[in-house]
A and B are shown apart, each in its own frame.
Chain A
Amino acid sequence: MTTQTQTQGIDFATLSLRDALDLAVLIEEEARDRYEELAAQLILHRTPAAAAFFTKMMRVEEIHRKQLFEQRQRAFGNHPVMVKREMIYDVEAADYDEVRMNMTHRDALEVALRSEIKAHRFFEQALKVVPSVEVKKLFTELCEEEITHQALVKAELLKLDPEKPGDRDDFSDDPVAQ
């Protein structure tokens, strides 16, 4: 994935700091909403451990979104948002096909890790094409943040008992063709 395939109609060569901040807010918003959706899917399909983790991630993404939004408000007030949610595609949001019924807590952590890596790669690629010094500074900060998030998820993964890879087999309601 590159910035080209994850965005549509965004010209990184002319991206202003205001639009870059709005873009960052939308990326966090998309990730938050996706985690909420994935948690709802898994609750519905009786996969509680992974659902609980995605709910936690949803709250984390909302905190990030809020921080970025406040930064944007301080710098640019209520100037209309020119960047649309329709312009970004799964930058930090986990892909829909990453989840499965009966996935384990470990599976969910791995999904989150892949999403953080994906987001880091996005900002890394974007840094190569944005000429603005201010936008470069913002994207560098975001890039570093994504590395911190990856470290947090990796630490969570290490806490899991390697002897107990998951509880997938505990489920009795795997779908059966009829």
Chain B
Amino acid sequence: MTAPVTFQAKDYKSDLKPIWCPGCGDFGVLQGLYRALASIGRPPHEVAFISGIGCSSRIPGYTTAYGFNSVHGRSLPIAQGVKLANPELLVVVAGGDGDGFSIGGGHVAHAVRRNIDITYIVMDNQVYGLTKGQLSPTSPKGLQTVTSPLGSLEEPINPLLFVLAYGAGFVAQASPADMPGMTALIEEAIRYPGFSFVNIQSPCVTFGEDDQQLKVHKAKMKTLASLGHDPADQLKAMDLARSYGTELYTGVFYRNPNPPLSYEELIKLRQAEESKKARPRNRILDAYLQK
């Protein structure tokens, strides 16, 4: 043991008690977030949680950090605005698969390509839990729900391939069935200098399928490290990501070994460049007079 304790997980925990169903995977994710933040060591007032709507989108209220429980599917645009307004903030976006890949699906591609330094954590339970068990964008084909009583005819969205295809610099998958592994991945994602994405298989105990529960995860999951996967290999990452829904691979699928400058860093450079050309204060109006 080397250093004295600075921030602890409990420093990020608010007094509000989660109202998720007992046994929900989101309890573990929340605990992992507290611990990852404690390891990073940024004080709660330097952290902002942004979410949309859904069970997992309640997370901002359960932390002592700044929080914005926004509108359905709009967490990413709001988070990008928050980060650009205050680039010093550590911004974490939390939400479910419905919020992220259905109503908010259009925003994901732009958040990825813009490469703002935020971390997007999706708690993927393959069902709309808050509204009592309808088909979600990641529900497996054939799933019978109240909105697909004869079984779904659609292929699910693959969140991992989705973000990899748009060029995300950090893509990982985790499960609360492996708390240390999940916590380490969240921490690694937050530390990545650019847009980072973690898909967490967080089962719904009430409306989820039996084979999606944590006990099954424990038996089924395989770490990418144990497969000898090199996270710098983007093509292999895409190949492995194709098994979403059949295999449960956890770990880093892809980490850009040479992260490009983030959007906010590019803005800083642009501002510095433009300020060199800036006129003295008493000549500012000249720009308009010349027109």
Residue positions of A touching B, CB distance < 8 A = 5-8, 16, 19, 33, 37-38, 40-42, 44-45, 47, 80-86, 89-90, 95-101, 103, 175-178
Contact = CB atoms under 8 A, between A and B. Distances in A.
B192 interface: no
A97 B23 contact: yes
A101 B204 CA distance: 13
A45 B22 contact: yes
Interface stretch (B2-10, B111-119, B228-236): B2-10
Nearest to B1: A82
Interface string B20-38: 1111110110010001001
Contact of A45 (B21, B31, B180): B21
15 contacts: A5-B178, A8-B183, A33-B10, A41-B27, A42-B22, A81-B5, A82-B1, A82-B3, A86-B8, A86-B35, A96-B27, A97-B23, A100-B22, A175-B21, A177-B133
A160 to B, nearest CB: 21
Contacts of B179: 89-90
A119 to B, nearest CB: 16
Given A80-B4, A82-B3, A86-B39, A176 B132 contact: yes
A83 B214 CA distance: 28
A159 to B, nearest CB: 24
Q: Lowest 6 CB-CB distances: which A-B pairs, in order? A: A82-B1, A177-B133, A96-B27, A99-B22, A97-B214, A178-B132
B4 A38 contact: no
Interface string B163-185: 00000000000001011100110
B146 A177 contact: yes
Nearest to A16: B1
B87 to A, nearest CB: 27
Contacts of A44: 17, 19
B188 to A, nearest CB: 13
B84 interface: no
B17 A40 contact: yes
Nearest to A1: B218
A82 B38 CA distance: 14
A178 B205 contact: no
Nearest to B32: A89
Interface in B72-98: none
Nearest to A95: B214
Contact of B27 (A37, A89, A103, A177): A37
Interface of B: 1-5, 8-10, 17-25, 27-28, 31, 35, 38-39, 131-134, 145-146, 176, 178-180, 183-184, 203, 205-207, 213-215
Contacts of A33: 10
A129 B217 CA distance: 29
Contacts of B9: 85-86
Contacts of B19: 44
A82 B3 CA distance: 6
Given A86-B35, A175-B132, A177-B132, A96 B4 contact: no
Nearest to B37: A86
Nearest to B144: A177
Contacts of B21: 45, 101, 175
A14 B39 CA distance: 22
A6 B9 CA distance: 16
Nearest to A9: B1
Contacts of A42: 22
B5 A38 contact: no
A108 to B, nearest CB: 11
Contacts of B184: 8
Nearest to B206: A175
Contacts of B205: 97, 100
A99 B132 CA distance: 20
Contacts of A19: 1
Contacts of B214: 95-97
A175 B146 CA distance: 13
Given A86-B9, A96-B25, 15 more contacts: A7-B180, A41-B22, A44-B17, A82-B1, A84-B8, A85-B9, A85-B10, A86-B38, A96-B27, A97-B25, A99-B22, A101-B206, A177-B134, A177-B146, A178-B131
A90 B10 CA distance: 15
Nearest to A45: B22
B284 to A, nearest CB: 52
